[in-house]
Amino acid sequence: MTETGPEPSRPRRSGLRGFGHSGPSPWTDLDRPPLDLDRLRHDLLLPGGLWTTLDVVAETGSTNSDLAARAREGEAEGAVLVAEVQSAGRGRLERQWTAPARSGLFLSLLLRPRDVPVERYGWLPILVGVAAASAISRVAEIPVGLKWPNDLLVTVDGAERKLGGILTELSGGAVIAGLGVNVSLRETELPVPAAASLALAGAKITDRETLLRALLREFAELYGEWTEAAGDPHASGLLPAYAARCTTLGRSVRVQLPGDRELVGEAVAVDGDGRLVVRTADGTRHPVAAGDVVHVRPEDL
Protein backbone atom coordinates (compact mmCIF):
# COMPACT_ATOMS: atom_id res chain seq x y z
CA MET A 1 0.00 0.00 0.00
CA THR A 2 1.38 3.41 -0.93
CA GLU A 3 1.24 6.13 1.67
CA THR A 4 1.39 9.78 0.74
CA GLY A 5 2.18 12.89 2.71
CA PRO A 6 2.93 16.58 2.32
CA GLU A 7 5.99 17.76 0.48
CA PRO A 8 8.94 18.71 2.71
CA SER A 9 9.38 22.39 3.48
CA ARG A 10 12.83 22.47 1.87
CA PRO A 11 12.69 24.62 -1.32
CA ARG A 12 12.66 22.55 -4.46
CA ARG A 13 15.43 22.62 -6.97
CA SER A 14 14.23 22.82 -10.53
CA GLY A 15 15.76 19.46 -11.44
CA LEU A 16 15.66 20.63 -15.07
CA ARG A 17 19.18 21.88 -15.76
CA GLY A 18 19.97 21.23 -19.42
CA PHE A 19 16.34 21.08 -20.56
CA GLY A 20 14.81 23.57 -22.98
CA HIS A 21 16.87 25.91 -25.15
CA SER A 22 20.02 25.57 -23.02
CA GLY A 23 20.40 21.84 -23.58
CA PRO A 24 19.03 18.69 -25.16
CA SER A 25 15.27 18.20 -25.23
CA PRO A 26 13.99 15.42 -22.96
CA TRP A 27 11.72 14.30 -25.78
CA THR A 28 14.38 13.59 -28.43
CA ASP A 29 13.89 9.85 -27.80
CA LEU A 30 10.22 9.07 -27.17
CA ASP A 31 11.11 5.58 -25.95
CA ARG A 32 13.02 7.23 -23.10
CA PRO A 33 10.76 9.79 -21.42
CA PRO A 34 12.14 11.94 -18.59
CA LEU A 35 11.44 11.10 -14.99
CA ASP A 36 8.48 12.89 -13.41
CA LEU A 37 10.04 14.63 -10.41
CA ASP A 38 6.80 15.78 -8.79
CA ARG A 39 5.30 12.31 -8.94
CA LEU A 40 8.44 10.69 -7.54
CA ARG A 41 8.57 13.16 -4.65
CA HIS A 42 4.89 12.59 -3.92
CA ASP A 43 5.40 8.83 -3.73
CA LEU A 44 8.77 8.63 -1.97
CA LEU A 45 9.15 11.61 0.39
CA LEU A 46 6.94 10.36 3.19
CA PRO A 47 6.71 11.63 6.79
CA GLY A 48 9.04 9.62 9.00
CA GLY A 49 10.59 7.85 6.01
CA LEU A 50 14.27 7.57 5.13
CA TRP A 51 14.11 9.77 2.04
CA THR A 52 14.08 13.49 2.88
CA THR A 53 14.90 15.18 -0.46
CA LEU A 54 14.85 13.96 -4.04
CA ASP A 55 16.26 15.87 -6.99
CA VAL A 56 16.46 14.97 -10.67
CA VAL A 57 18.92 16.83 -12.90
CA ALA A 58 19.01 16.58 -16.66
CA GLU A 59 22.78 16.29 -16.76
CA THR A 60 25.73 16.34 -14.40
CA GLY A 61 29.27 15.06 -14.20
CA SER A 62 28.75 12.66 -11.31
CA THR A 63 25.86 12.35 -8.87
CA ASN A 64 28.32 10.96 -6.31
CA SER A 65 30.53 14.04 -6.58
CA ASP A 66 27.54 16.39 -6.38
CA LEU A 67 26.05 14.68 -3.35
CA ALA A 68 29.48 14.45 -1.68
CA ALA A 69 29.74 18.24 -1.90
CA ARG A 70 26.32 18.57 -0.30
CA ALA A 71 27.37 16.17 2.46
CA ARG A 72 30.36 18.37 3.25
CA GLU A 73 27.92 21.27 3.61
CA GLY A 74 25.98 19.29 6.21
CA GLU A 75 23.14 17.86 4.12
CA ALA A 76 20.94 15.58 6.22
CA GLU A 77 20.60 11.85 5.68
CA GLY A 78 18.13 10.70 3.08
CA ALA A 79 19.00 12.90 0.11
CA VAL A 80 18.59 11.25 -3.29
CA LEU A 81 20.11 12.70 -6.45
CA VAL A 82 19.21 11.25 -9.86
CA ALA A 83 20.72 12.28 -13.19
CA GLU A 84 19.16 11.66 -16.59
CA VAL A 85 22.70 11.48 -17.95
CA GLN A 86 26.18 11.60 -16.39
CA SER A 87 29.22 12.84 -18.27
CA ALA A 88 31.76 11.68 -15.68
CA GLY A 89 30.14 8.75 -13.90
CA ARG A 90 32.63 6.61 -12.00
CA GLY A 91 32.87 3.01 -10.95
CA ARG A 92 35.34 1.19 -8.75
CA LEU A 93 39.02 2.06 -9.29
CA GLU A 94 37.93 5.23 -11.15
CA ARG A 95 36.58 3.27 -14.12
CA GLN A 96 34.32 5.44 -16.28
CA TRP A 97 30.58 4.77 -16.61
CA THR A 98 28.74 6.30 -19.56
CA ALA A 99 25.33 5.73 -21.15
CA PRO A 100 22.88 7.65 -23.37
CA ALA A 101 20.49 10.10 -21.73
CA ARG A 102 17.51 8.55 -19.94
CA SER A 103 18.67 5.03 -20.82
CA GLY A 104 19.16 3.94 -17.23
CA LEU A 105 19.00 4.79 -13.55
CA PHE A 106 21.96 6.87 -12.40
CA LEU A 107 21.63 7.96 -8.80
CA SER A 108 23.33 8.53 -5.48
CA LEU A 109 22.11 8.32 -1.89
CA LEU A 110 23.36 10.29 1.12
CA LEU A 111 23.47 8.14 4.25
CA ARG A 112 24.52 8.88 7.83
CA PRO A 113 24.20 5.56 9.72
CA ARG A 114 25.00 7.06 13.14
CA ASP A 115 24.20 3.91 15.14
CA VAL A 116 26.51 1.77 13.00
CA PRO A 117 30.25 1.46 13.75
CA VAL A 118 32.39 2.90 10.97
CA GLU A 119 34.09 -0.47 10.47
CA ARG A 120 30.74 -1.84 9.25
CA TYR A 121 30.23 0.83 6.61
CA GLY A 122 31.82 -1.56 4.11
CA TRP A 123 28.54 -3.47 4.09
CA LEU A 124 26.69 -0.56 2.48
CA PRO A 125 27.61 -1.34 -1.16
CA ILE A 126 26.53 -4.92 -0.50
CA LEU A 127 23.25 -3.64 0.96
CA VAL A 128 22.69 -1.46 -2.12
CA GLY A 129 23.38 -4.47 -4.32
CA VAL A 130 20.95 -6.72 -2.49
CA ALA A 131 18.22 -4.06 -2.56
CA ALA A 132 18.75 -3.34 -6.25
CA ALA A 133 18.88 -7.00 -7.28
CA SER A 134 15.81 -7.86 -5.23
CA ALA A 135 13.71 -4.91 -6.44
CA ILE A 136 14.70 -5.24 -10.09
CA SER A 137 14.18 -9.00 -10.13
CA ARG A 138 10.70 -8.58 -8.71
CA VAL A 139 9.59 -5.71 -10.94
CA ALA A 140 11.30 -6.74 -14.19
CA GLU A 141 10.58 -10.45 -13.65
CA ILE A 142 14.09 -11.59 -14.55
CA PRO A 143 16.84 -13.07 -12.35
CA VAL A 144 19.43 -10.52 -11.22
CA GLY A 145 22.58 -11.82 -9.56
CA LEU A 146 25.44 -10.16 -7.73
CA LYS A 147 29.08 -10.59 -8.66
CA TRP A 148 31.33 -9.89 -5.69
CA PRO A 149 31.80 -7.17 -4.68
CA ASN A 150 29.61 -4.66 -6.51
CA ASP A 151 28.27 -5.73 -9.91
CA LEU A 152 24.67 -6.51 -10.91
CA LEU A 153 24.45 -9.37 -13.42
CA VAL A 154 21.82 -10.62 -15.85
CA THR A 155 21.87 -13.34 -18.49
CA VAL A 156 21.67 -12.40 -22.16
CA ASP A 157 21.82 -15.13 -24.82
CA GLY A 158 23.08 -17.62 -22.25
CA ALA A 159 25.96 -15.45 -21.02
CA GLU A 160 26.27 -13.49 -17.78
CA ARG A 161 26.70 -9.79 -18.45
CA LYS A 162 26.99 -6.69 -16.31
CA LEU A 163 23.76 -4.77 -15.74
CA GLY A 164 25.03 -2.19 -13.29
CA GLY A 165 27.54 -1.23 -10.66
CA ILE A 166 27.82 0.37 -7.24
CA LEU A 167 30.30 2.85 -5.77
CA THR A 168 30.34 4.09 -2.18
CA GLU A 169 32.46 6.93 -0.84
CA LEU A 170 32.88 8.79 2.45
CA SER A 171 32.33 12.54 2.51
CA GLY A 172 31.52 14.96 5.30
CA GLY A 173 30.96 12.11 7.74
CA ALA A 174 28.38 10.60 5.38
CA VAL A 175 28.39 7.65 3.03
CA ILE A 176 27.55 8.47 -0.58
CA ALA A 177 26.22 5.35 -2.29
CA GLY A 178 26.10 5.56 -6.07
CA LEU A 179 24.27 3.14 -8.36
CA GLY A 180 24.09 2.86 -12.12
CA VAL A 181 21.71 0.44 -13.87
CA ASN A 182 21.35 0.04 -17.64
CA VAL A 183 17.65 -0.07 -18.46
CA SER A 184 16.95 0.47 -22.16
CA LEU A 185 20.39 0.39 -23.81
CA ARG A 186 20.42 -1.27 -27.21
CA GLU A 187 23.19 -3.63 -28.27
CA THR A 188 24.85 -0.91 -30.34
CA GLU A 189 24.89 1.46 -27.36
CA LEU A 190 26.67 -0.82 -24.91
CA PRO A 191 30.04 0.54 -23.72
CA VAL A 192 31.61 -2.94 -23.82
CA PRO A 193 30.39 -6.34 -25.10
CA ALA A 194 30.21 -7.68 -21.54
CA ALA A 195 27.62 -5.07 -20.57
CA ALA A 196 23.86 -5.58 -20.72
CA SER A 197 20.57 -3.82 -20.09
CA LEU A 198 17.20 -4.86 -18.73
CA ALA A 199 15.72 -4.56 -22.22
CA LEU A 200 18.32 -6.91 -23.68
CA ALA A 201 17.74 -9.37 -20.84
CA GLY A 202 14.03 -9.57 -21.65
CA ALA A 203 12.67 -7.56 -18.73
CA LYS A 204 8.87 -7.41 -18.52
CA ILE A 205 9.01 -3.87 -17.09
CA THR A 206 11.52 -1.21 -18.12
CA ASP A 207 9.69 1.88 -16.85
CA ARG A 208 12.34 3.79 -14.93
CA GLU A 209 9.97 5.42 -12.45
CA THR A 210 8.51 2.05 -11.46
CA LEU A 211 11.99 0.60 -11.05
CA LEU A 212 13.26 3.60 -9.08
CA ARG A 213 10.33 3.55 -6.65
CA ALA A 214 10.77 -0.16 -6.01
CA LEU A 215 14.52 0.18 -5.55
CA LEU A 216 14.35 3.07 -3.09
CA ARG A 217 11.57 1.43 -1.07
CA GLU A 218 13.46 -1.86 -0.92
CA PHE A 219 16.66 -0.13 0.13
CA ALA A 220 14.89 1.88 2.85
CA GLU A 221 13.45 -1.30 4.35
CA LEU A 222 16.74 -3.21 4.31
CA TYR A 223 18.69 -0.18 5.55
CA GLY A 224 16.31 0.17 8.49
CA GLU A 225 16.86 -3.47 9.45
CA TRP A 226 20.62 -3.09 9.07
CA THR A 227 20.88 0.08 11.17
CA GLU A 228 18.61 -1.37 13.86
CA ALA A 229 21.09 -4.25 14.11
CA ALA A 230 23.97 -1.74 14.38
CA GLY A 231 25.23 -2.88 11.00
CA ASP A 232 25.61 -6.52 12.03
CA PRO A 233 25.41 -8.48 8.75
CA HIS A 234 24.21 -11.63 10.51
CA ALA A 235 21.59 -10.15 12.86
CA SER A 236 20.16 -7.97 10.07
CA GLY A 237 19.97 -10.87 7.64
CA LEU A 238 22.11 -9.03 5.11
CA LEU A 239 24.87 -11.62 4.82
CA PRO A 240 22.60 -14.58 4.02
CA ALA A 241 20.56 -12.43 1.64
CA TYR A 242 23.73 -11.45 -0.20
CA ALA A 243 25.12 -15.00 -0.28
CA ALA A 244 21.87 -16.24 -1.80
CA ARG A 245 22.29 -13.85 -4.76
CA CYS A 246 26.08 -13.88 -5.10
CA THR A 247 26.93 -15.70 -8.32
CA THR A 248 30.65 -15.67 -7.43
CA LEU A 249 30.26 -18.20 -4.61
CA GLY A 250 30.87 -21.81 -5.48
CA ARG A 251 32.88 -20.96 -8.60
CA SER A 252 36.53 -21.31 -9.46
CA VAL A 253 37.87 -17.78 -9.70
CA ARG A 254 41.00 -15.92 -10.64
CA VAL A 255 41.47 -12.86 -8.40
CA GLN A 256 43.74 -10.20 -9.83
CA LEU A 257 45.52 -8.24 -7.11
CA PRO A 258 47.65 -5.10 -7.32
CA GLY A 259 51.20 -5.62 -8.44
CA ASP A 260 50.28 -8.26 -11.04
CA ARG A 261 49.62 -10.83 -8.31
CA GLU A 262 46.92 -13.46 -8.74
CA LEU A 263 44.99 -15.79 -6.48
CA VAL A 264 43.32 -18.83 -8.04
CA GLY A 265 40.88 -21.05 -6.20
CA GLU A 266 37.24 -21.59 -5.31
CA ALA A 267 35.15 -18.74 -3.90
CA VAL A 268 33.68 -20.46 -0.86
CA ALA A 269 32.22 -17.69 1.32
CA VAL A 270 31.80 -14.04 2.13
CA ASP A 271 33.00 -13.46 5.70
CA GLY A 272 31.67 -11.20 8.44
CA ASP A 273 33.76 -8.31 7.12
CA GLY A 274 32.38 -8.60 3.59
CA ARG A 275 35.57 -10.15 2.24
CA LEU A 276 35.54 -12.88 -0.39
CA VAL A 277 37.07 -16.10 0.92
CA VAL A 278 38.99 -18.03 -1.74
CA ARG A 279 40.15 -21.58 -1.03
CA THR A 280 43.26 -22.49 -3.02
CA ALA A 281 44.26 -25.97 -4.18
CA ASP A 282 46.20 -26.66 -0.97
CA GLY A 283 43.07 -26.03 1.12
CA THR A 284 44.16 -22.64 2.47
CA ARG A 285 41.42 -20.05 2.79
CA HIS A 286 42.39 -16.54 1.71
CA PRO A 287 40.07 -13.61 2.56
CA VAL A 288 40.37 -10.72 0.08
CA ALA A 289 38.83 -7.28 0.57
CA ALA A 290 37.19 -5.36 -2.25
CA GLY A 291 39.67 -2.51 -1.89
CA ASP A 292 42.54 -4.92 -2.53
CA VAL A 293 41.11 -6.46 -5.70
CA VAL A 294 41.45 -5.29 -9.30
CA HIS A 295 39.31 -8.02 -10.96
CA VAL A 296 37.53 -11.25 -10.04
CA ARG A 297 36.90 -13.52 -13.02
CA PRO A 298 35.87 -17.13 -13.55
CA GLU A 299 39.11 -19.12 -13.47
CA ASP A 300 38.81 -20.43 -17.02
CA LEU A 301 38.79 -16.93 -18.59
Q: Where are the domains of the chain?
A: 20-244, 248-298
Question: Has residue 9 got a pLDDT over 90?
Answer: no
Task: Check residue 98 and give its pLDDT.
Answer: 74
The C-alpha atoms of residue 209 and residue 6 are separated, in whole angstroms, by 20
Second-level CATH architecture of 248-298: Roll (2.30)
3 state SS for 199-261: CCCCCCCCCHHHHHHHHHHHHHHHHHHHHHCCCCCCCCCHHHHHHHHECCCCCEEEEEECCCE
Task: Check residue 1 and give its pLDDT.
Answer: 36
- The mean pLDDT of 203-227, rounded to a whole number, is 98
Least confident of 43-57, 84-98, 237-251, 277-291: 84-98
The C-alpha atoms of residue 27 and residue 268 are separated, in whole angstroms, by 48
What does pLDDT average to over the chain?
89
- The mean pLDDT of 173-190, rounded to a whole number, is 97
Question: Has residue 84 got a pLDDT over 90?
Answer: yes
Query: The dihedral of CA 99, 44, 31, 162: what is its sign?
Result: positive
The C-alpha atoms of residue 59 and residue 162 are separated, in whole angstroms, by 23
- The mean pLDDT of 192-217, rounded to a whole number, is 97
- Assign 62 a pLDDT band (cuts: 50, 70, 90): very high
- Assign 181 a pLDDT band (cuts: 50, 70, 90): very high
Task: Check residue 297 and give its pLDDT.
Answer: 87
Q: Which burial class, exposed, middle or buried, applies to 173 when counting CB atoms under 10 A from its CB (0-12, 13-18, 19+)?
A: exposed
- The mean pLDDT of 46-68, rounded to a whole number, is 97
Q: Which of 170, 130, 149 is nearest to 289 (CA)?
A: 149
Bridge pairing between strands 151-156 and 145-147 = antiparallel
**Candidates 2.60.120.260, 3.40.50.300, 3.20.20.70, 3.30.930.10; CATH matching 20-244:** 3.30.930.10
pLDDT (tens digit per residue) in 226-237: 999 999 999 999
pLDDT (tens digit per residue) in 104-134: 999 999 999 999 999 999 999 999 999 999 9
Task: Check residue 93 and give its pLDDT.
Answer: 46
Rg from Cα positions in the chain: 19
Task: Check residue 97 and give its pLDDT.
Answer: 61
Task: Check residue 26 and give its pLDDT.
Answer: 53
